[in-house]
């Protein structure tokens, strides 16, 4: 099942964006085999493994990539793989003897996906970093937050997952499509700085056009506008309003009882703080449930601000099965959706090395080879 059915992917285990890309590709039907460190393999089933949502859908083998026979085993896997994903600092895979040139000598059709924060080259390529640093350098972090206050990290959604893992998955699929005509693989250099910069494209455009102010919290989409913001309700919950277009704004005024008032024009930026104060007072007059009864499903562009524990129970999310439960853990379902070849979660998360014998056998290793590798300490 899934549009990537038949594609074989090797994922060198890592953190954050690499596993997210592998999860997305697995959800779409690819056979993704995670290569965990042999030293990470433990006897029995580790506690809490079902909660490792980013690791769902893949089998795991334990291979020592610092052992010569472990490297040889990896190269044997690479010979029949379509894609390899790794998330080390630049040069690490080369030092292990598994860099792109070596791997493509073994398999010219291999798509070699590389996930880093800063990229494979540049002055910062070897520096440590995290999501907050990458989105800061790309100009995204400075734009997020309230006016007159410090920037607010948007979880690690923008760098790790949007600009990182999702861009890597996109790049891998693009390279697979191109391989269909050229017959050759290529290296995908997915850097979180680059991906975050791409996500910022419309804001660079609006800044160039003179309709976006670099002072955060003063613009149309950053909480500066009173009609694109969140408001506290009487019960201490919150609702979100996105009444940007004229007709949607008119409905907002009608449903809040402001339609008959003599108000400043919608796009009069000097009046936005005053209008926000009016809406703040109005929204605090009713509970979130009462505002849902009034506005949900209307053209106000409205939604309650739900917590992660609340979101799966919302009627819209239930109707679309936006969330699923795997091994007792509620988590997002595969996305996007396909009408002929829908994605699916093939299995829950795997512990390191859980499928070493099973998966390596499926990938062409003979029993005596597995015994030899295990005796040598190259697999576990």
Q: What is the pLDDT of residues 111-153, one digit of tens each?
A: 999 999 999 999 999 999 999 999 999 999 999 999 999 999 9
342 within a domain of the structure (yes/no): yes
For residue 160, indicate whether it is catalytic. Answer: yes
| 191 and 287 assigned to the same domain | no
- Radius of gyration of the chain from its Cα atoms, rounded to whole angstroms: 25
For residue 130, indicate whether it is catalytic. Answer: yes
pLDDT tens per residue, range 299-349: 999 999 999 999 999 999 999 999 999 999 999 999 999 999 999 999 999
Can you spell out the DSSP letters for 316-374? HHHHHT-EEEETTEEEEPPSS--SSS-----S----TTTTHHHHHHHTT--HHHHHHHH
Query: Of these residues, 31, 64, 160, 194, which one is catalytic?
Result: 160
| 364 and 299 assigned to the same domain | no
Tell me if 279 sits within 8 A of 302, measured CB to CB: no
User: CATH no. for residue 146?
Assistant: 3.40.50.10540
2 within a domain of the structure (yes/no): no
CA atoms of 167 and 245, how far apart (whole Å): 31
- 269, 304, 339 - which closes a domain: 304
How many residues are listed for the chain in this entry?
Answer: 380
| 156 and 23 assigned to the same domain | yes
| 188 and 113 assigned to the same domain | yes
315 within a domain of the structure (yes/no): no
218 within a domain of the structure (yes/no): no
Tell me if 83 sits within 8 A of 172, measured CB to CB: yes
Q: Which residues of the chain have pLDDT under 70?
A: 44-46
| 47 and 116 assigned to the same domain | yes
* Closest-CA residue to 185 (of 120, 114, 113): 113
| 53 and 148 assigned to the same domain | yes
List Cα–Cα distances, 19 to 98, 104, 161, 228, in angstroms. Answer: 19, 23, 10, 34
List Cα–Cα distances, 202 to 158, 207, 292, in angstroms. Answer: 15, 9, 31
Structural domain boundaries, residue 259: 228-232+238-304
339 within a domain of the structure (yes/no): yes
| 130 and 268 assigned to the same domain | no
Return the axis-axis angle of helices 17-27 and 166-182, rounded to nearest 10°: 60
Checking phi first, is residue 376 left (phi over 0); if not, alpha (psi -120 to 50) or beta? alpha
Q: What is the pLDDT of residue 103?
A: 98
| 58 and 151 assigned to the same domain | yes
CA atoms of 31 and 136, how far apart (whole Å): 35
| 284 and 150 assigned to the same domain | no
The residue with tokens 């880093």 is 116
126 within a domain of the structure (yes/no): yes
User: CATH no. for residue 272?
Assistant: 3.30.1540.10
Domain count, the chain: 2
| 26 and 89 assigned to the same domain | yes
Q: What is the pLDDT of residue 190?
A: 98
| 146 and 275 assigned to the same domain | no
145 within a domain of the structure (yes/no): yes
| 60 and 152 assigned to the same domain | yes
Helix (H, G, I), strand (E, B) or coil at 241: strand
- 304, 332, 359 - which closes a domain: 304
83 within a domain of the structure (yes/no): yes
Q: Are β-strands 59-63 and 323-326 bridged in parallel, bridged antiparallel, or unpaired?
A: unpaired
């Amino acid at each position: 099942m899934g549009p990537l059915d038949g594609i074989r992917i090797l994922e060198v285990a890592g953190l954050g964006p690499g596993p997210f890309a592998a999860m997305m590709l697995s959800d779409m039907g690819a056979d993704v085999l995670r290569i965990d460190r042999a030293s990470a393999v433990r006897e029995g089933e580790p506690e809490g493994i079902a909660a490792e949502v980013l690791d769902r859908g893949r089998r795991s083998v334990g291979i020592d990539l610092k052992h010569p026979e472990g490297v040889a085993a990896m190269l044997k896997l690479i010979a029949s793989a379509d894609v390899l994903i790794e998330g080390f600092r630049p040069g690490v895979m080369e030092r292990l003897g598994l860099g792109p040139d070596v791997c493509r000598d073994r398999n010219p059709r291999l798509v070699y996906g590389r996930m880093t924060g800063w990229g494979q080259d540049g002055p910062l390529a070897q520096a440590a970093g995290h999501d907050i640093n990458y989105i800061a350098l790309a100009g995204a972090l400075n734009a997020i937050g309230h006016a007159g206050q410090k920037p607010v990290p948007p979880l690690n959604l923008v760098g790790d997952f949007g600009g990182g893992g999702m861009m890597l998955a996109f790049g891998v699929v693009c390279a697979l499509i191109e391989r269909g005509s050229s017959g050759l693989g290529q290296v995908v250099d997915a850097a979180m700085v680059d991906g975050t910069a791409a996500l910022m494209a419309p804001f660079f455009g609006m800044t160039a056009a003179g309709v976006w102010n670099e002072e955060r919290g003063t613009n149309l989409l950053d909480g500066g506008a009173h009609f694109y913001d969140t408001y506290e309700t009487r019960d201490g919950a919150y609702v979100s309003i996105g009444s940007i277009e004229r007709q949607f704004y008119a409905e907002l005024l009608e449903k809040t009882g402001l339609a008959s008032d003599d108000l400043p024009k919608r796009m009069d930026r000097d009046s936005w703080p005053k209008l926000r104060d009016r809406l703040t007072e109005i929204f605090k007059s009713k509970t979130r449930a009462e505002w849902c009864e009034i506005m949900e499903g209307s053209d106000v562009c409205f939604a309650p601000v739900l917590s992660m524990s609340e979101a799966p129970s919302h009627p819209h999310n239930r109707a679309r099965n936006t969330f699923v439960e795997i091994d007792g853990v509620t988590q997002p379902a595969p996305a996007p959706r396909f009408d002929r070849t829908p994605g699916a979660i093939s299995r829950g998360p795997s512990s390191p090395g859980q499928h070493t014998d099973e998966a390596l056998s499926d990938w062409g290793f003979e029993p005596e080879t597995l015994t030899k590798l295990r005796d040598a300490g190259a697999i576990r």
